Amino acid sequence: MQALILALPKAELHLHLEGSLEPELMFELAQRNNIKLAYSNVAQLRRAYQFNNLQEFLDIYYQGAAVLQTEQDFYDLTWAYLLRCKEEGVVHVEPCFDPQTHTDRGVAFSTVIGGVSRALADGLQKLAISSALIMSFLRHLPEQSAFLTLEQALPYKELITAVGLDSSELGHPPEKFQRVFEKALEHGFLTVAHAGEEGPAEYIWQALELLQVSRIDHGVRAVEDEKLMQLLISEKMPLTVCPLSNTKLQVFSHMSEHNILAMLDRGVKVMVNSDDPAYFGGYLAANYLALAEHLPMSKVQLKQLAQNSIEASFLSTAQKQPHLAKISQL
Ligand code: ADE
Ligand code: ZN
């Protein structure tokens, strides 16, 4: 199973670049930028990665992102992630970044997008990994801050494919950002949103109807609403599911309880992603392996998950074709 997991061409569609910041790089950047971390070494930091819910994780995650200061820091972060992708047979990535996490502490938007986009361009040239970048709005911040971020992004429009919505879900429904997403759509951005991770199925409805999303990030609570399930199936709406994230943040109490394969078997377009791999215990292949270890996953199911990842990407039909052909041959 492990050999097939690695050999299958895979796309990763739900990955927070800030969530790929490994403790080792965090300490290196802290030293480079003269920043004092609240932890004295890597082992102590890793021991703090125990979360009872999304908010407990986010509190530590935003703290960690503060070491990212220069264009080179954002390059190094993104490049390190791409190297992991190369090792695991990930052929296409659609990572997201949170500009407000950085601009709110005085780092310029141009610094962030400069480093990230330079690494993604090198990823294509040197590693043959294609990409599409997603800019996420932090939903715990006011609508006005998202509008400002959208404006800051306009000069870099060619580098950004879609806008997204992340951070603390409960109490911050998609409807709070309907007007910002309308504006983003007018500017030609595609849209995605985290919904139904900790929040109710109602938030998935709102993301579909008010934000006109092309994909739902997480969406695992859709199973609580049969009418919604029927819609997701008939519309082939992709759900970017993140198994290790869901168990680390107690969305499911154990991997054996995860509903991804049940949804797959019902015809929902689910696929596997790593979300914040530096915090949740593994990159894409580790997520597939965790499923294979705790759920009875067949080769057919595994291939369907990889196929869904390519099909649900923002690649063109022609760009998807060679990856899909290789999957069918394996
Ligand atoms: N930001 C980073 N990871 C996230 C997640 N899993 N949910 C919401 N916001 C996030
Ligand atoms: Zn996420």
pLDDT at 24 (0 to 100): 98
Amino acid 195 reads A
Q: Distances from the Cα of 271 to the Cαs of 67, 97, 146, 178, 211, in angstroms? A: 31, 20, 28, 26, 21
- Per run of 10 residues, the mean pLDDT along the chain (length 330 residues) is 97 99 98 97 97 98 98 99 98 99 98 99 99 99 98 98 98 98 99 98 99 99 98 99 98 98 98 98 98 98 99 99 98
Expressed in angstroms and rounded, the spacing between residue 31 Cα and the centre of ligand 2 is 28
pLDDT at 10 (0 to 100): 99
Q: What is the DSSP string of 118-177?
A: HHHHHHHHHH--EE--EEEEETTS-HHHHHHHHHHHGGGGGG--EEEEES--TT--GGGG
d(CA 19, CA 280): 9
Atom 1 of ligand 1: nearest residue by CA position:
167
DSSP one-letter code for 77: H
Identify the residues whose C-beta falls under 6 Å from ligand 1: 16, 19, 54, 166-167, 194, 197, 245, 275-276
Task: Provide the token pair at 244.
Answer: 């290790």
Contact 211, 190 (CB under 8 A): no
- pTM for the model stands at 0.99
pLDDT at 201 (0 to 100): 98
pLDDT at 300 (0 to 100): 98
DSSP one-letter code for 275: B
Atom 9 of ligand 1: nearest residue by CA position:
167
pLDDT at 51 (0 to 100): 98
Contact 196, 204 (CB under 8 A): yes
Helix (H, G, I), strand (E, B) or coil at 116: helix
Task: Provide the token pair at 147.
Answer: 């509008």
Pocket test for ligand 1, best of 275, 279, 280, 287 (most atoms within 8 A of CB): 275
Q: To which residue do tokens 């965790």 refer? A: 290
d(CA 39, CA 27): 9
Helix (H, G, I), strand (E, B) or coil at 271: strand
C-beta atoms surrounding 239 within 10 Å = 28
Three-point CA angle 65, 42, 71, nearest 5°: 35
Options 197, 209, 226, 311, the catalytic residue: 197
Burial (0-12, 13-18, 19+ Cβ within 10 Å), 43: exposed
Q: Distances from the Cα of 221 to the Cαs of 200, 209, 269, in angstroms? A: 6, 17, 14
pLDDT at 40 (0 to 100): 96
d(CA 110, CA 209): 32
Expressed in angstroms and rounded, the spacing between residue 62 Cα and the centre of ligand 1 is 11
215 forms bridges with which residues in the sheet? 192
